[in-house]
RNA sequence: GGGCCCGUAGCCUAGCAUGGAUAGGGCGCCGGUCUUCGGAAUUGGAAAUAAUGAUGUGAACCGGAGGUCCAGGGUUCGAAUCCCUGCGGGUCCGCCA
């Protein structure tokens, strides 16, 4: 039984007690206390009841404490000015916590689609994309571990202007199709071709004409569109190398060009016309277009800004006309016209599928999920809202809980100048470059600590440290906060960082390795763990289920990142003050050793949910 | 102009959804510890080396200093948290994607 189970038990028993005492029914929230002398859990129900009944909260707290019947080892203590605190006996909490680490089942088979990464196939991933990937991948891991059936999608926008830009570079500006040796193709295209072509547009206006004609060719089946596919898939394969390097994985690649060629838009557009959400403009500045009006409660009739064009006056659809059917497909609001084929095998052994227009292979079910989570930065807020409100109108269902835009703030390079990363201008830090730099530094540190180790081993450890450092730094902040990517900061290996967490894990492994035998925990030996720092480590370990639950419900991986750091620093404090292997008292040694075991397992579970590897030795 | 978001020590950040007990961390700073690693020097010894160890160092630990929770008003027994107004910053508002 973990703290999460205690919480549920207390809630149930307290509800019964209130009912039996004839007190009014109120919503009960069992919360964690801020300090150990208040016990571990508390409710402020006496305040709520006091208000209703016009009585002193403390009197009600005393009364409830007297009436409530709790299991052995759990007591209720009234506290001024009206809290009801619950104290779990140290030995019992220790014993129960040390027996097992439990991940709660919250999903009950709910199907969830998570879309993340979705980098345009014309450049390498920069750290802004890295934030998207790390958030999305962590959430996918958390949801999967808590009993949800997840499908992870990486959307490939292979039909837009950005693709036309690089084709201009290859076909008209003389960029070679093969970069110089040692350069990744995605990096070469992003750094040289894409940036170069965008600079040339200013000086050579005729290039823009060329782009226009390429853009038209892309919609059809011809030499240029086939060349575009070849190039974008080559870039995609290199991007995936970076994604996999960051420990991410996907189930499906969805190609925008196939949404177009399968004409998924048509049936949606018909439905939208029928539902009268799509309106034809007879006059005004949008004459000849089909628009959708967002219901915003904007009362000013002169304000036309919340109209969004769906179909241009020349009859072509705008990009939102690709997003809407895809979003509808995710929730099963439109039929599944895709075929699917095997794209490649991933490092974790699973198959990465891709949408396809050709005859499909035997594939798992895609689309039609209970819930769709789209990870995109906050600048897409308005568009995502439009998409959801269109889907709501078409399906006449509220979708607030089913179509979720998980927005996060952008990554910038400097707070003073607020340098936004821009692929077009070539202002960004690539994920691979960042990882290489951190890895370099970690390699020096690892070598210092392991002079006799093989170069290959040192390199593999340094790589894992680099990934942990980057993933941790991108996931630890609130989604609403702008991340300033500071190179010096990202090279830090101490303080609140991924490597610090890995270090404490490795410390635990050292002790376990040297101890040799696995300890057997009994209630009496658990009671020996009575030191303040031991009790607080146990309490933190007992919160595993609660922490996972809240991050799954709030889609907030940051909570788990904080939790790994907190556990690690508590473990390090324990490590300094409670020697395990030197302890002469066999039973105490045994109890401490099982605490080390439990710490290792718990931390291993949580770091895994964050995609951080924990080597046994670093 | 309208929508959304942010404002917490020198810097970064948690807590805000669901109001509650002394606002929790990290970096940096000051002081200390040490089963980290290096080590001037001293003592013993012919030597290998052993003991002591200034001082440095640290993915380690302990302690300390550092706060108008942007401002003002309101609701409440109680506000960092809820409401209103204002200030500062960001972002979105193309027949681009």
- The CATH code of the domain that includes A456 is 1.10.730.10
How many angstroms separate the CA of A40 from the C1' of B78?
A: 22
How many angstroms separate the CA of A577 from the C1' of B29?
A: 26
Q: Residue with CA nearest B76 C1'?
A: A51
Model confidence over A324-374: pLDDT tens digits?
999 999 999 998 999 999 999 999 999 999 998 776 678 999 999 999 999
How many angstroms separate the CA of A37 from the C1' of B32?
A: 29
Alpha carbon of residue A482 to chain centroid: 16
Q: Residue with CA nearest B23 C1'?
A: A34
Average pLDDT, chain A: 90
Nucleotide nearest A504, from its CA to each C1': B59
Q: In the predicted model, what is the mean pLDDT of residues A223-242?
A: 95
Nucleotide nearest A481, from its CA to each C1': B6
- Domain range enclosing A525: 431-609
Instruction: Give the integer Cα–Cα distance in Å for A82 and A184.
Output: 64
Among candidates A122, A295, A121, A283, which has minimal Cα distance to A193? A122
Q: In the predicted model, what is the mean pLDDT of residues A557-574?
A: 95
Instruction: Give the integer Cα–Cα distance in Å for A211 and A223.
Output: 15
User: Percent of chain A beyond pLDDT 90?
Assistant: 65
Among candidates A318, A256, A261, A265, which has minimal Cα distance to A289? A318
How many angstroms separate the CA of A110 from the C1' of B16?
A: 29
Lowest average pLDDT, out of A88-97, A285-294, A331-340, A591-600, goes to A285-294
Token pair of A124, please?
């390498």
Nucleotide nearest A82, from its CA to each C1': B20
What's the CATH number where A27 sits? Answer: 3.30.1360.70
Task: Grade residue A1 by pLDDT with cuts at 50, 70 and 90.
Answer: low
How many angstroms separate the CA of A121 from the C1' of B77?
A: 60
Does a structural domain hold residue A496? yes
Model confidence over A81-124: pLDDT tens digits?
899 999 999 999 999 999 888 899 999 999 999 999 999 999 99
Token pair of A133, please?
């990937």
Domain boundary, last residue among A88, A111, A128: A88
Task: Give the per-residue pLDDT at A360.
Answer: 66
DSSP A379: G
Nucleotide nearest A418, from its CA to each C1': B90
- How many domains is chain A built from? 2
Tell whether the model's pLDDT for residue A8 goes beyond 60: yes
Nucleotide nearest A285, from its CA to each C1': B95
Q: In the predicted model, what is the mean pLDDT of residues A564-578?
A: 92
How many angstroms separate the CA of A442 from the C1' of B38?
A: 20
Model confidence over A124-144: pLDDT tens digits?
999 999 999 999 999 999 999
Lowest average pLDDT, out of A333-342, A385-394, A419-428, A601-610, goes to A419-428
How many angstroms separate the CA of A50 from the C1' of B73?
A: 29
Task: Give the per-residue pLDDT at A302.
Answer: 40
Tell whether the model's pLDDT for residue A303 goes beyond 70: no
Task: Grade residue A295 by pLDDT with cuts at 50, 70 and 90.
Answer: low
How many angstroms separate the CA of A481 from the C1' of B67?
A: 21
Does a structural domain hold residue A305? no
Task: Give the per-residue pLDDT at A94.
Answer: 93
Q: How many residues does chain A have?
A: 618
How many angstroms separate the CA of A510 from the C1' of B44?
A: 38
CA atoms within a 13 Å half-sphere pointing along the CA-CB vector of A434:
31
Domain boundary, last residue among A70, A88, A106: A88
Model confidence over A177-230: pLDDT tens digits?
999 888 999 999 999 999 999 889 888 888 888 998 898 888 788 899 899 999
Instruction: Give the integer Cα–Cα distance in Å for A286 and A309.
Output: 8
Instruction: Give the integer Cα–Cα distance in Å for A526 and A98.
Output: 8
Helix (H) or strand (E) holding A599: helix A586-609
Does a structural domain hold residue A515? yes
Instruction: Give the integer Cα–Cα distance in Å for A504 and A498.
Output: 10
Place of tokens 């990465």: A352
Nucleotide nearest A31, from its CA to each C1': B18
How many angstroms separate the CA of A487 from the C1' of B18?
A: 39
More confident residue, A317 or A351: A351
Q: Residue with CA nearest B6 C1'?
A: A481
Instruction: Give the integer Cα–Cα distance in Å for A147 and A114.
Output: 15
Q: Residue with CA nearest B20 C1'?
A: A44
Q: In the predicted model, what is the mean pLDDT of residues A412-431?
A: 80
Task: Give the per-residue pLDDT at A298.
Answer: 41
Task: Grade residue A454 by pLDDT with cuts at 50, 70 and 90.
Answer: confident
Q: Residue with CA nearest B18 C1'?
A: A29
Task: Give the per-residue pLDDT at A249.
Answer: 98
Does a structural domain hold residue A442? yes
Nucleotide nearest A35, from its CA to each C1': B21
Model confidence over A51-65: pLDDT tens digits?
889 899 999 999 999
Tell whether the model's pLDDT for residue A161 goes beyond 50: yes
Nucleotide nearest A320, from its CA to each C1': B97
Does a structural domain hold residue A331? no
Task: Give the per-residue pLDDT at A521.
Answer: 83
How many angstroms separate the CA of A574 from the C1' of B61?
A: 9
How many angstroms separate the CA of A380 from the C1' of B62?
A: 48
CA atoms within a 13 Å half-sphere pointing along the CA-CB vector of A408:
29
Nucleotide nearest A37, from its CA to each C1': B21
Q: Which residues of A205-219 are buried (b: 16+ CB within 10 A; e: fewer)?
A: eebeebbeebbebbe
Q: Residue with CA nearest B38 C1'?
A: A448
Q: What DSSP assignment string belongs to A336-365?
A: ---EEEEEEE-TTSPEEEEEESS---S---
Does a structural domain hold residue A529? yes
How many angstroms separate the CA of A446 from the C1' of B39?
A: 22
Does a structural domain hold residue A576? yes
Lowest average pLDDT, out of A19-23, A293-297, A373-377, A602-606, goes to A293-297
How many angstroms separate the CA of A76 from the C1' of B23?
A: 26
Tell whether the model's pLDDT for residue A379 goes beyond 80: yes
Tell me which nucleotides of strand B come within 7 A of a protein CB.
1-6, 12-18, 20-22, 25-28, 35-36, 58-62, 77-78, 89-97
Does a structural domain hold residue A330? no
Nucleotide nearest A469, from its CA to each C1': B59
Q: In the predicted model, what is the mean pLDDT of residues A165-185?
A: 92
Nucleotide nearest A465, from its CA to each C1': B59
The three-point CA angle A141-A122-A408 to 5° equals 40
Domain boundary, last residue among A88, A111, A133: A88
Among candidates A384, A337, A356, which has minimal Cα distance to A254? A356
Tell whether the model's pLDDT for residue A304 goes beyond 70: no
């Amino acid at each position: 039984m973990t703290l999460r189970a205690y919480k549920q038990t207390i809630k149930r028993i307290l509800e019964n007690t209130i009912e039996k005492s004839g007190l009014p029914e109120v919503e009960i929230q069992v919360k964690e206390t801020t300090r150990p002398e208040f016990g571990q859990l508390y409710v402020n129900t006496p305040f709520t009841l006091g208000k209703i009944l016009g009585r002193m909260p403390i009197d009600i707290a005393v009364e409830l404490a007297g009436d409530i019947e709790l299991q052995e080892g759990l007591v209720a203590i009234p506290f001024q000015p009206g809290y009801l605190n619950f104290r779990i006996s140290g030995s019992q909490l220790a014993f129960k916590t040390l027996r097992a680490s439990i991940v709660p089942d919250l999903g009950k088979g709910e199907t969830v689609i998570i879309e993340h990464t979705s980098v345009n196939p014309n450049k390498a991933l920069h750290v802004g994309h890295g934030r998207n990937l790390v958030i999305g991948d962590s959430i996918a891991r958390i949801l999967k571990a808590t009993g949800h059936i997840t499908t992870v999608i990486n959307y490939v926008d292979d039909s837009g202007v950005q693709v036309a830009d690089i084709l201009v570079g290859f076909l008209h500006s003389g960029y070679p199709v093969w970069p110089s040796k040692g350069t990744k193709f995605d990096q070469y295209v992003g750094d040289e071709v894409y940036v170069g072509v965008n600079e040339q547009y200013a000086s050579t206006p005729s290039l823009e004409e060329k782009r226009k004609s390429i853009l038209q060719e892309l919609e059809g089946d011809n030499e240029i569109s086939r060349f575009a596919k070849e190039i974008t898939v080559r870039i995609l394969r290199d991007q995936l190398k970076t994604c996999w390097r960051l420990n991410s994985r996907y189930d499906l690649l969805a190609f925008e060009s196939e949404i177009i060629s399968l004409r998924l838009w048509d049936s949606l557009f018909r439905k939208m016309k029928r539902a009268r959400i799509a309106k034809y403009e007879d006059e005004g500045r949008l004459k000849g277009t089909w628009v959708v009006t967002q219901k915003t409660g904007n009362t000013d009739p002169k304000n036309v800004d919340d109209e969004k064009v769906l179909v241009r006056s020349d009859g072509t659809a705008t990009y939102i006309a690709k997003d809407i059917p895809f979003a509808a497909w995710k929730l099963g609001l439109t039929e599944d016209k895709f075929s699917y084929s095997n794209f490649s095998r991933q490092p974790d052994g699973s198959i990465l599928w891709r949408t396809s227009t050709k005859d499909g292979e035997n594939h798992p079910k895609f689309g039609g999920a209970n819930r769709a989570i789209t990870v995109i930065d906050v600048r897409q807020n308005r568009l995502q809202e439009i998409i959801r409100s269109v889907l709501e109108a078409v399906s006449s269902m509220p979708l607030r809980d089913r179509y979720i835009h998980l927005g996060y703030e952008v990554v910038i390079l400097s707070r003073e100048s607020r340098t936004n990363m821009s692929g077009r201008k070539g202002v960004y830090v690539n994920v691979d470059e960042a990882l290489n730099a951190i890895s370099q530094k970690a390699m020096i540190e690892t070598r210092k600590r392991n002079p006799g180790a093989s170069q290959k081993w040192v390199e593999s450890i340094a790589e894992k440290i680099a990934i942990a450092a980057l993933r941790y730094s991108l996931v630890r902040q609130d989604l609403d906060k702008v991340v300033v990517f500071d190179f010096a900061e990202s090279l830090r290996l101490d303080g609140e960082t991924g490597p610090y967490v890995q270090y404490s894990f490795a410390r635990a492994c050292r002790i376990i390795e040297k101890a040799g035998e696995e300890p057997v925990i009994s209630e009496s030996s658990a009671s020996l763990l009575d030191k303040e720092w031991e009790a607080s480590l146990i309490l933190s370990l007992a919160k595993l289920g609660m922490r996972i639950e809240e991050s799954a419900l709030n889609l907030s991986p940051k909570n788990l990142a904080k939790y790994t750091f907190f556990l690690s620093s508590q473990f390090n404090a324990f490590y300094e003050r409670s020697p395990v292997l030197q302890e002469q008292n066999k039973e105490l040694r045994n109890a401490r050793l099982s605490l080390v075991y439990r710490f290792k397992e718990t931390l291993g579970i949580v770091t895994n949910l964050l995609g951080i590897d924990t080597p046994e030795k670093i």
